[in-house]
Structures are given as C-alpha cells and as structure tokens.
Amino acid sequence: MRCVHSREAIVLSRGARWVAAAMTAVCLVLLQGAGAPNGGLLFARPLQPDAAEAVVPGRVGTWNICNPCGSGNDFGRATEIATYAPQLIALQEACVRDVERIRRYLEEVYGLTYRVEYGTVLRNWNRCGGLPWRPGGYGQAILSAAPMTDRVSVEYPVGGSEDRGYLAVTTLVDGRPVRVFNTHLAERRQGEVRAGQIEVLAAEVARHDRAIVLGDFNAVPHAPELATMWALAPGTDHGCRPSTPDADADADADADAGADADACTTTTDWDSTFDYVFLRGTTPGTDHVRPSPYSDHHLLYTDLNRGRGVSGRR
C-alpha cells in the first residue's frame, strides 16, 4: 500500500479528500500498530460537502478542545478544524502532544499547513501523559497559517483552582498585522479570580491598536468581570451584549443554571456562553458556532473579512 504524503494531499480535489483521509488512516494504523493513540482513525467521517477547500483568509476561531474528554479524539478534532479551515485558531485545554498530532493530520490528510505556538501553564502527567518525570505540557495553543512572532506566554498571578494564563503572538490576519491573545480563565464560581485575571489581560491588550482576543472566559456575557473586556474590545456576537450590572448581580449562579443574556449564542453543551472573540481596532465579523462530539465546548469562528467571498460552511 502506498501512503498519501502531505505534499500530494494538497493537490487533491475536494471530492477525493475523504479518500486521502481513509488512506492516511490505514497507513497510520499500520505504521503505528494497535497501540496507536488514535485507533479509531479507520472509522473517521469524511469532510462535509460544503467544507472549506483551503484555509479561509480572515477567518479566526477559538475552541476549548476539552481535557479530559476521552482518548483518541485528535483525528476527529483535526477533521472539525479542517471543515472550517480558519486562518488562525486558538485552542484551550491543549496538550502539546495532542496538538502535534492534530497538526500532522491537518497537513497529511487535509493539506492544511499550520504553524503553532504554545502557552504551557502546567506539566501534568494525568492530563497529558508522558513519563511521570517528564509529563506533557498543558495550556493554550495557537495554530496559524501565517508566521507568528513576538510570542509571550503569561501565567496569571492567581489561577484559581488550576493554573491559568494567556498566550500572545503577532501575526498577519487577512494580510494585516495584529496582536492575537488566547486565554483560559478560572473556572465557574471563581468570578473574583477571573476579575483579577482580566485586569492583567486587559492591560496588555490595551497597549495595541489592533488586537484579537480569543478564548474560554468561563463567564457569561453579563458577568461583572467581563465589563472591562466589552469596553476595551467588543465581542463579535452582534446580538449579544452585556446587560446592566443591577440586573445580573449573581452571574456565577446564572452560569451554573445555564442562564445567558438574551440573544447570545451558547457555546457549551450546558447552554452557556463562555467562549468569545473580542476585537480591538479590527473589522467586525459574524460569529458561527458549531457543536462538536469531540468537546463539551463548541467550535466558534468569525469571518473578519466578509467582503471577499470566503468559502466554507456558514
């Protein structure tokens, strides 16, 4: 059997891409053996007919890929990303080894080449495997089709129940330089901790005229701690805006009950809005939220340049 190489996969038509996926899956299973980390590759679903054929300029996304959400999901996660093919996507709860496999499948199976930067906040054997004395890195990752520079990884002074932080890079989005932030804030019922984390993040975002802030904020739109972000860099869900503080004094209780501000698109399996794309000095976009069987968070992406006739699923 001749394995499909990444350079060859790039030139395949959309109608033949599922064949490449199946061939690569078989090759990987044969080469890696029964103990391969993604033993379910043989049963991977092909991309949908209206999937993007190549990286979409000006499309940025964010996705908490869930850890732990079971093993062997990396090929499925790569398939989800390939379906919408954002130019840039921020991942949270990401293990370095998982992201490396996702990148490999994106290139070798779907012909999509991404660069990566990591914002590791933990080295945890339980979450990311590895040897007990050499555990895997866990935190944020940014995949970008364009080169990234000036990487900064910051761990918040107070993480809450788990270390948290943000990753920042400078890259080109739709041909224009922009500072990109990827963050994961403290868990629910830790609003005061999140407020302190947002102060740290917002101070850095404010230094840039053009910025995109992506991530899992673990807070509903009307949570008091998000007020700073709304004022600094409005979100891209145009029907979703925070309500007045007096109307929403107990945001954490609302989050656990699944309550969100009216007209906000939910981004989690428990019907809360926790994931955001905030823009500063950048052309507004339109949000698209896609549930996935591979995470308890939905994949959220925004097309920043709607005037160029982007392709892909809407």
Residue 11 pLDDT > 60 = no
pTM of the model: 0.81
- As a whole number, the mean pLDDT across the chain is 82
Residue 20 pLDDT > 70 = no
pLDDT one-digit tens code per residue, 28-68? 444 343 333 344 444 455 788 889 999 999 999 999 999 98
Least confidently predicted of 11-15, 95-99, 241-245, 273-277: 11-15
What's CA 311's distance to the chain center, in Å?
20
215 or 25, greater pLDDT: 215
Residue 280 pLDDT > 80 = yes
What is the CB-side half-sphere exposure of residue 266 using CA atoms within 13 A?
11
Q: For residue 20, count other CB atoms closer than 10 A to its CB.
A: 21
**Average pLDDT in the 122-131 region?**
88
Q: For residue 5, count other CB atoms closer than 10 A to its CB.
A: 13
**Average pLDDT in the 81-97 region?**
97
Amino acid 305: pLDDT: 65
The single-letter code of the amino acid at 283 is: T
Least confidently predicted of 39-53, 68-82, 293-307: 39-53
pLDDT one-digit tens code per residue, 215-271? 999 999 999 999 999 999 989 987 787 755 443 444 444 444 343 445 789 999 999
| Burial bucket for residue 191 (CB in 10 Å: 0-12, 13-18, 19+) | buried
Would you say how long the chain is, in residues?
Answer: 314
Amino acid 237: pLDDT: 86
Amino acid 283: pLDDT: 80
313 or 59, greater pLDDT: 59
Following CA atoms 203, 204, 210, 213 in sequence, which dihedral angle do they give, to the nearest 10 degrees?
Answer: -90
Residue 306 pLDDT > 70 = no
CB 180 within 8 A of CB 167: no
The single-letter code of the amino acid at 134 is: R
User: According to the per-residue pLDDT averaged within each range, which of 129-133, 250-254, 278-282 is highest?
Assistant: 278-282
- Distance (Å, rounded) from C-alpha 257 to C-alpha 273? 12
- The share of the chain scoring above pLDDT 70, in percent, equals 76
Amino acid 255: pLDDT: 44
pLDDT bin (cut points 50, 70, 90) of residue 21 is low
pLDDT one-digit tens code per residue, 167-182? 999 999 988 999 999 9
Task: Give the angle 239-245-248 at the CA atoms, nearest 5°.
Answer: 80
